[in-house]
Chains A and B, each alone.
Chain A
Amino acid sequence: MTATSTKILTGRMDAHPADSHTIERYLATGGYEALRKALETMAPEDVAAELKASNMRGRGGANFPTGVKWGFLAATEPRYLVVNADESEPGTFKDRMLLERDPHQMIEGIALSCYALGIRQAFVYVRGEYPRPARRVERAIAEAYRHGFLGNDVLGTGFACDVVVHLGAGAYICGEETALLNSLEGRRGEPRIKPPFPAVEGLYARPTIVNNVETLSNVPWIVTNGGAQYATIGPETSAGTRLFSLSGHVAKPGNYELVMGLTWREFIYDIGGGIPNGRELKAWIPGGASAPWFVPDPHLDTPVTIDDVGKHGSMLGSGAVVVMDDTTCVVRAAMNIVQFFAHESCGQCTPCREGTGWLQRMLWRIENGAGRPVDVDLLLDVSDNISPGLKWPPAMTTICPLGPSAVSPITTITTYFRDEVAAHVEEGVCPLG
């Protein structure tokens, strides 16, 4: 196999599909050895140092270096670790797999992280629509307690670590870490103004680290093999493997653990099996519904790395790749995404609450034959009042990036498919039927 097939996260589930989620299988495949190693031979700061050395960047979407984030954690007690398992970005289903298929890997990552950070209480915030993953995690936590990997005296070392599963209830915005913290506190999931950042003032206004499921699932490997080893995998600024969720008009949808650096063509055609039914590739979303779209010309032969995607005005985000073939009406697809963000806007800040709703209604008119010639420029100007300059990463008139995310498909379709949009307005119908 090529270098792209390195398996840090998915090796166990691929090899043992029948029982990869059980503690028996986990233990039989080296599970909790990293925790034992850390507790018995490493100081907490040594564990944190390995994370820093790994150069791993957070897998939740913002791609911020995890070791650096950990370094911001304020020293006052108590402190909390919150696992962001509120995976809700359209196109993303990788954390669901990690939770369902290898929950102990994440739990060991939690215990290791708590040890490294001097934290004794962790929460796993699982989205409400994931009861099956949540059940698997809850049972795995119970197993871990029974085996002494969690609790008041982990492995007899005096290290204490408790984990509580908290179920969300249908709000995409809770994937934003401060909204998640509000939700976990029993409030509306409205993002907070930053600063202060959670590492200083997080859950219950205490220092808090919020990490994604995939991020934490990498921690056991890093502790076992060393951060330096991890840093050697893939391009320097996109270290490690990455779970990509591939969906849409593609022959082989699914989750793929890849070393970054391959090209989009290789990913979509070689790994994803190309576009089914003899259709052509029209566009794809490289990093979840928030990301501006890519099109074959000029993006198909650019590398799949955090930096390269950023350089081309989009982001690798949550690793969700949604492929659209040439039968796709871009106005309809954009409307679908804008509608998503309008539906998920928390409503606290004006430009997002009012702006996403306005954009959605304009797109609906255009898609349904009631567009006016002025609407295309109006779409862009209203978008500009949410996301000034219409660039990526966005400038924002909003509190959080949800509003600007709704603008991404609009800038895309008016940039790459302006004629198709104009045809909707001029002909009063969708040219694709």
Chain B
Amino acid sequence: MSEWSAAIRERARALVARYPDRRSAVMPLLYLAMLTEDGDLTEDGMRQVAEHTGLTPAQVQSVASFYTMYKREGVGRYLVSVCTSISCMLLAAHDVLDAVADETGVPHGETGEDGTFSVEHVECIGACGGAPAVQVNYELIEGVTPDKARELCRWLRDGRPEVVFSDEMQALFGGQRSFEWGPKEPEGAVAAVPAIAHLGSAAGSSSPPSGGSPAAQPPGGGST
């Protein structure tokens, strides 16, 4: 079993310390396990989470498999998620999904052979006022047309950005928004794991998270 590095184990301990019961840290630790493996939730990753929470690997797998964002089948460099729930569906989200699948050559629900893209359709991501909506590594773009979706995929493939930022992609490929977003966000995603300081995001904020641990740097060498 490949073990986590001392630095990752230290971060894991800090996550565990946020809760009255260490089992509660399963979910953030699963994200941490994915960050150490470029977004994949591996069997070794689940074993490490089990180790840190006092659970059996079977229990960790049971929890992980309940939630759609823990990618046990692996995931590409860019996870493109197209919302197809009711509000997006009414505004032709399936055309956006088809455009993404066509442009990337990756059918939805799968990961491309070169590992660049995973394409999925997802249930409501809370962007109904800016339908149809798309996320790249959970960074949101609203008001996406099929053509803009193709441009987005090309931009990702050609530019291979280390970090994806919602505001940047919205400006380039988005349209109608659910509401005024306000100023730009300094943090972005380094992998198909939601970017938040206590788990690991790029261009991390200078504010310490409430748990008292210092602002996290992305693991595995990823940085802006």
A residues contacting B by CB (< 8 A) are 13, 17-21, 78, 87-93, 95-97, 100-101, 121, 127-132, 134-136, 138-139, 141-143, 145, 150, 162-172, 183-189, 204, 245-249, 253-255, 285, 289, 320, 322, 324, 328, 332-333, 336-337, 340, 343-344, 346
Contact = CB atoms under 8 A, between A and B. Distances in A.
A328 B89 CA distance: 10
Contacts of B2: none
B31 interface: yes
A163 B90 contact: no
B19 A169 contact: no
User: Which of B67, B123, B140, B195 lies at the interface centre, i.e. has the most chain A CB atoms within 10 A of its CB?
Assistant: B123
Contacts of A132: 139-140, 166, 185
A131 B86 contact: no
Contact of B207 (A142, A167, A171): A142
B138 to A, nearest CB: 5
Contact of A169 (B55, B70, B139, B198): B70
Given A134-B194, A135-B195, A246-B129, A162 B210 contact: yes
Given A93-B127, A185-B21, 7 more contacts: A17-B180, A18-B183, A92-B124, A135-B205, A142-B207, A186-B24, A189-B67
Given A169-B70, A186-B25, A340-B124, A129 B86 contact: no
A246 B123 CA distance: 18
Given A128-B194, A186-B24, A138 B209 contact: yes
Interface string B86-113: 1101110000000000000000000000
A343 B87 CA distance: 17
Contacts of A138: 196-198, 207, 209-210
A128 B67 contact: yes
Q: Give chain B's interface secondary structure class.
A: loop
23 contacts: A17-B180, A18-B183, A90-B86, A90-B123, A90-B124, A93-B178, A101-B179, A129-B122, A130-B126, A130-B194, A131-B195, A135-B195, A141-B209, A169-B27, A170-B68, A188-B66, A189-B66, A248-B131, A254-B178, A255-B178, A333-B86, A343-B123, A346-B66
A127 B122 CA distance: 14
B153 interface: no
Contact of B185 (A128, A135, A249, A324): A135
A169 B30 contact: yes
B148 interface: no
Nearest to A80: B20
A171 to B, nearest CB: 5
A166 B86 contact: no
Interface string B176-210: 10111111010101000011111101000101111
Interface of B: 18-21, 23-28, 30-31, 53, 55, 62-63, 66-70, 84-87, 89-91, 122-131, 135, 138-140, 166, 176, 178-183, 185, 187, 189, 194-199, 201, 205, 207-211
Nearest to B62: A188
Contacts of B199: 167
A302 B91 CA distance: 27
Contacts, number: 219
Contacts of B85: 90, 289, 336, 340
Given A91-B124, A139-B207, A337 B27 contact: no
A135 B24 contact: no
Nearest to B89: A336
Nearest to B176: A253
Nearest to B207: A142
A139 B124 CA distance: 25
Contacts of B176: 253
Contacts of B84: 336
Contacts of B53: 186
Contacts of A92: 124, 126, 128
B197 A135 contact: yes
B179 A166 contact: no
B128 A247 contact: yes
Contacts of A247: 87, 128-129, 131, 178
